């Protein structure tokens, strides 16, 4: 995803995640959860002076697209995806562990 500098600075610092069914709202876009391929564990660092994504976390989507956000954004997306996929049940509900 092509992102302007002004959009990125706003994007990395604000609250933008809202869950609605199979979508998660990131800034002004409704991202389908099933499009998320992977989520970066460390912030982006390439060392280039003109890099607009320095310090932001990448949420990689299908078709080589990405959404960039803060650590809080990354953590929320991980939580939303885990909730959407059913997550790990509480210990008292784990019948398979005997």
Q: What is the pLDDT of residues 49-70, one digit of tens each?
A: 999 999 999 999 999 999 888 8
Full-prediction pTM beyond 0.95? no
Long-range contacts of residues 33-42, Cβ cutoff 8 Å, at least 24 apart: 33/80, 33/81, 33/84, 35/61, 35/62, 36/60, 36/61, 36/77, 36/81, 37/61, 37/62, 39/74, 39/77, 39/78, 39/81, 40/74
Q: Would you write out the chain's pLDDT as a tens digit for each of its 98 residues?
A: 334 333 333 344 434 555 556 877 766 677 789 999 999 999 999 999 999 999 999 999 999 999 888 888 888 888 888 888 876 666 666 565 55
8: its two tokens:
């990125």
């Amino acid at each position: 995803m092509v992102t302007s500098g002004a959009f990125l600075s706003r994007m990395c610092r604000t609250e933008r995640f809202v869950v609605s069914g199979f979508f998660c709202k990131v800034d002004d876009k409704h991202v389908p959860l099933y499009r998320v391929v992977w989520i970066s564990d460390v912030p982006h660092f390439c060392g280039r002076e003109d890099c607009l994504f320095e310090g932001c976390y990448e949420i990689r989507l299908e078709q080589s697209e990405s959404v960039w956000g803060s650590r809080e954004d990354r953590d929320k997306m991980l939580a939303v995806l885990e909730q959407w996929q059913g997550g790990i049940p509480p210990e008292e509900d784990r019948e398979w562990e005997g």
